[in-house]
Amino acid sequence: MKPRLFTPGPTPVPEETLLELARPVTYHRAPEAKAILAEVSEDLKYVFQTSQPVYTLTCSGTGGMEAAVSNTLAAGEKAILCTAGRWGERWRGILKAYGANIVTVEVPYGKAVTPEMLEKALKDNPDTKVVFSTLSETSTGVGHDLEGYGKVVAKTDALLAVDGISGVGAMECKMDAWNLDVVVTGSHKALMMPPGLAFVAASAKAWKKIDATPVRNFYFDLRRYRKSLAESDTPFTPGNTLIRAQRVSLKRIRAEGIENLWARHARIAAACRAGVEAMGLKLFAERPNNALTVIAVPEGVEGTATLKAMEKKYGFKLADGQDTLKNHIWRLSHMGYTDAFEVLGALSALELVLGEGGFKLDAGAGVAAFQKAYAAGK
Amino acid sequence: MKPRLFTPGPTPVPEETLLELARPVTYHRAPEAKAILAEVSEDLKYVFQTSQPVYTLTCSGTGGMEAAVSNTLAAGEKAILCTAGRWGERWRGILKAYGANIVTVEVPYGKAVTPEMLEKALKDNPDTKVVFSTLSETSTGVGHDLEGYGKVVAKTDALLAVDGISGVGAMECKMDAWNLDVVVTGSHKALMMPPGLAFVAASAKAWKKIDATPVRNFYFDLRRYRKSLAESDTPFTPGNTLIRAQRVSLKRIRAEGIENLWARHARIAAACRAGVEAMGLKLFAERPNNALTVIAVPEGVEGTATLKAMEKKYGFKLADGQDTLKNHIWRLSHMGYTDAFEVLGALSALELVLGEGGFKLDAGAGVAAFQKAYAAGK
């Protein structure tokens, strides 16, 4: 049986990137290593759609989020937290650890925080220093209107920090054009790499605040990364084989083109949603994003057991819900190095396993609807 | 020409470990991933010579050092910093970022901080909470007497935190038997892996202090790692392909045996020092350690240019000195996956390039002395 990875991180990695990881290790301060970092940093600017430098941190996405918090906020300063799921709660955990004064804009899991809600919170809290938000709320499948947030926040003195970890690359996100002040992402989602690297960029507005904020830690101090990257270097020994491999995946992204990458994800996601609904299933997110499709487990079906059967019998590994959503949702990623035919296969496997479990469905309806929607897409 | 890596991190990685890195990515929360983490954690306990759990952090060694500082010290608490080089200064940078009250025990580069110096500092500062020390000072080649430090610190209420990044695996280090309270190392030195993982363990005495210290950050909060590892898990998405590959290199270490690994490094290091001295060169470190040999550049020789020629002509990549030591020392690693015949080759290349540059030496004296000392070793 062929194993197939559909978890919303890690995601499948192109073969040429994996092979790069098997090449001998080299010295991270050699001129060749600096040239690679410089190239990766340029390609990341393209992916982020920014003219600002993008810093490479050796850590998981959470480390990048911690950098966003600790560099922009002094203890006791006010932050607005927009939270619609587990990753919004991740911001909260970091904000609490750094003693932020947190104002929460919260919606139930499956719903989205709207720009209007954020606008009201900003009006009520004019002393807000930073707004923390989530592009793709991977725990529920919701995508947030960051372009809308950006318009609202840009009118104030506050910064807009974005967890773009499972969003950047999978859905439209234009750091400069949308006035996003701090954007964080990770290697292991739409950027087609194993976990281990986080990427962070900050706007000129953000840098002004960062330079006025006391140093709060060391490894995540962005000023150190700024100083080093000016010489195509990193302040600490980086995961240099990961950076070398990220270069390979970024070349693939450049060759495809970022707009084409967004369009590919949008087309597959739309077809996937059509397929799911044609199977008589419901989408969990009220504002679904293109990184993953989150399906509500229908009444009478055991969510976790279904996923286990699907993996054991057909090799497809989807993700369960987390915490209280465990057994209640299925999360199917179509990020990065995943194409339409693979997602079609995943729907086929889901149809099969549901049918075998006694769930009533019209065999073939899901894959046919996927095919029809995909053919109609562009 | 065959490239050969002799930098004191990164170091050469075994072929089977590299190939593991090229295998497809899998889900980090799957039972198989948890089993691998559990196995790696057990093998790390063996490498650390401790009965305490060893935590795997996705970051470079500096991140592990930051965890050691931020978990054990509240702001304003007193720390004794033993510093004999650049990596002692790394502790200082982190301690400053976290607002520690720093008492410094300092010696010039090339010298070692003795247990007696530390004992005096502890007597003068009975309110010390943590002593920060360096097992292998990679910037100078000095090894510190951690067994001696342990005896001194154990008599007090203070903790002993050790940067074992280039030392653990390359030289004798027994966490429990020597009363080391916090030990940090990284994947990319004697543990035969690319950079990207740090490993941290804490004694029962250390955990008592950690539990009484306020939370100071998030990603490096060791309590989160303790809670997760109890369920063979990590608190944040780990570099799971790196962990999988570290497992392969740890199996190699277990097969060799930790005492044999230490003995191998000791034997090669002794032979290397004999070879260097037979070439008419001087060792830089007054108390040289077995992870690397640091050679003082002789009068009239350009250190940096010699290394460049050695790499260009013969493929051997040694490391230059850092900061003020640049051009003044050569650093030759014999850590991890490096055997006697490769170090012999490096001495041969150094002899050749020095001779070609006009430095007077007795051709063959270095390699003969290496051979003789190695044959006499065990």
Which tens digit of pLDDT belongs to each residue from B163-173?
999 999 999 99
**Chain B environment of A242 (Cβ under 8 Å):** 194, 196, 239
Q: What single-letter amino acid sits at B334?
A: H
Whether B317 has its CB under 8 Å from any CB of chain A: the answer is yes
What are the pLDDT digits (tens) for B40-83? 999 999 999 999 999 999 999 999 999 999 999 999 999 999 99
- How many other CB atoms are there within 10 angstroms of residue A355's CB atom? 14
Tell me the CATH number at B321.
Answer: 3.90.1150.10
Residues B178 and B41 in one domain: yes
Closest CA to B293 of B340, B259, B254: B340
Output the CA–CA distances (angstroms, integers) from residue B263 to A269, B16, B173, B258, B369, in the order listed: 58, 23, 12, 9, 19
The answer on pLDDT for A233 being more than 90 is yes
Whether A72 has its CB under 8 Å from any CB of chain B: the answer is no
Least CB–CB distance from B60: residue in A217, A238, A319: A238
Q: What is the pLDDT of residue B200?
A: 98
Give the whole-angstrom CA distance, residue B102 versus residue B80: 6
Burial of A286 (0-12, 13-18, 19+ CB in 10 A): middle
For residue A372, the distance in angstroms to the closest alpha carbon of chain B comes to: 31
For residue B334, the distance in angstroms to the closest alpha carbon of chain A comes to: 15
Contact A196 B194 (CB under 8 A): no
**How much is the pTM?**
0.98
Give the whole-angstrom CA distance, residue B158 versus residue B98: 18
Confidence of residue B152 (pLDDT cuts 50, 70, 90): very high
- How many other CB atoms are there within 10 angstroms of residue B248's CB atom? 20
Give the whole-angstrom CA distance, residue B43 versus residue B253: 9
For residue A151, the distance in angstroms to the closest alpha carbon of chain B comes to: 30
Q: Note whether B335 and B321 are within 8 A (CB).
A: no
Give the whole-angstrom CA distance, residue A50 versus residue A67: 18
**Chain B environment of A241 (Cβ under 8 Å):** 21, 194-196
Contact A28 B10 (CB under 8 A): yes
**Chain A environment of B18 (Cβ under 8 Å):** 21-24
Residues A223 and A310 in one domain: no
Determine the distance from the C-alpha atom of residue B87 to the mean position of all C-alpha atoms in its chain, rounded to a whole number.
10
Residues B59 and B195 in one domain: yes
Give the whole-angstrom CA distance, residue A22 versus residue A15: 11
Across B119-129, average pLDDT: 98
Residues 6+ apart with CB under 8 A from A212: none
What are the pLDDT digits (tens) for A299-337? 999 999 999 999 999 999 999 999 999 999 999 999 999
Residues B267 and B250 in one domain: no
Give the whole-angstrom CA distance, residue B196 versus residue B187: 7
Residues A118 and A217 in one domain: yes
Whether B342 has its CB under 8 Å from any CB of chain A: the answer is no
Whether A165 has its CB under 8 Å from any CB of chain B: the answer is no
Least CB–CB distance from B10: residue in A7, A58, A240: A240
Least CB–CB distance from A94: residue in B5, B22, B218: B218
**Chain A environment of B7 (Cβ under 8 Å):** 27
Give the whole-angstrom CA distance, residue B220 versus residue B205: 19
Give the whole-angstrom CA distance, residue A271 versus residue A229: 41
Across A270-298, average pLDDT: 98
What are the pLDDT digits (tens) for A138-167? 999 999 999 999 999 999 999 999 999 999
Burial of B371 (0-12, 13-18, 19+ CB in 10 A): middle
Q: Tokens for B217, please give them.
A: 């950050």
Give the whole-angstrom CA distance, residue B162 versus residue B165: 9
With pLDDT > 90 as the criterion, what percentage of chain A qualifies?
Answer: 99
Q: Tokens for A103, please give them.
A: 């104002």
Whether A50 has its CB under 8 Å from any CB of chain B: the answer is no
Burial of B365 (0-12, 13-18, 19+ CB in 10 A): middle
Residues A221 and A322 in one domain: no
Identify any residues that bridge with B163 across adjacent strands, giving them in sequence order.
Answer: B134, B184
Residues 6+ apart with CB under 8 A from A310: A316, A318, A349, A350, A353
Least CB–CB distance from B94: residue in A10, A218, A242: A218
Q: What single-letter amino acid sits at A139?
A: S
A·B CB contacts under 8 A:
173
Give the whole-angstrom CA distance, residue A159 versus residue A162: 10
The answer on pLDDT for A88 being more than 90 is yes
Confidence of residue A378 (pLDDT cuts 50, 70, 90): confident
Tell me the CATH number at A248.
Answer: 3.40.640.10
Final residue belonging to a domain, choices B256, B280, B300: B256
Residues A274 and A211 in one domain: no
Across A58-82, average pLDDT: 98
What are the pLDDT digits (tens) for B267-309? 999 999 999 999 999 999 999 999 999 999 999 999 999 999 9
Across A75-104, average pLDDT: 98
Provide the domain limits for residue A243. Answer: 15-256
Q: Note whether A159 and A212 are within 8 A (CB).
A: no
Final residue belonging to a domain, choices A210, A234, A256: A256
Whether A321 has its CB under 8 Å from any CB of chain B: the answer is no
Final residue belonging to a domain, choices A213, A230, A256: A256
Q: Tokens for B251, please give them.
A: 């199996």
Give the whole-angstrom CA distance, residue B268 versus residue B271: 5
Q: What single-letter amino acid sits at B306?
A: T
What are the pLDDT digits (tens) for B177-188? 999 999 999 999
Cα angle, residue B117 at apex, residues B114 and B120 outer, rounded to 5°: 150
When divided into structural domains, chain B yields a total of: 2
Whether A218 has its CB under 8 Å from any CB of chain B: the answer is yes
Q: Which of residues 7-36 of A touch B (CB under 8 A)?
A: 7, 9-13, 18-19, 21-28, 30
**Chain A environment of B58 (Cβ under 8 Å):** 58-60, 63, 195-196
A60, closest residue in chain B (CA to CA): B237
Burial of B149 (0-12, 13-18, 19+ CB in 10 A): buried
Residues A104 and A251 in one domain: yes
Residues B244 and B300 in one domain: no
Residues comprising chain A, all counted: 378
**Chain A environment of B238 (Cβ under 8 Å):** 60, 195
Residues A82 and A228 in one domain: yes
In b/e form, how buried is each residue of A186-199, taking b as 16+ CB within 10 angstroms?
bbbbbbbbbbbbbb
Residues A169 and A181 in one domain: yes
Residues 6+ apart with CB under 8 A from A82: A88, A105, A113, A117, A118, A131, A132, A133, A134, A144, A149
B56, closest residue in chain A (CA to CA): A59
Contact B25 A11 (CB under 8 A): yes
Residues A252 and A303 in one domain: no
Q: Note whether B295 and B8 are within 8 A (CB).
A: no
Q: What is the pLDDT of residue A232?
A: 98
Mean pLDDT of chain B: 98
Identify any residues that bridge with B102 across adjacent strands, giving them in sequence order.
Answer: B79
For residue A230, the distance in angstroms to the closest alpha carbon of chain B comes to: 18
Contact A186 B237 (CB under 8 A): yes
Least CB–CB distance from B63: residue in A19, A24, A219: A219
By three-state DSSP, how is residue B144 classified? coil
**Chain B environment of A319 (Cβ under 8 Å):** 27
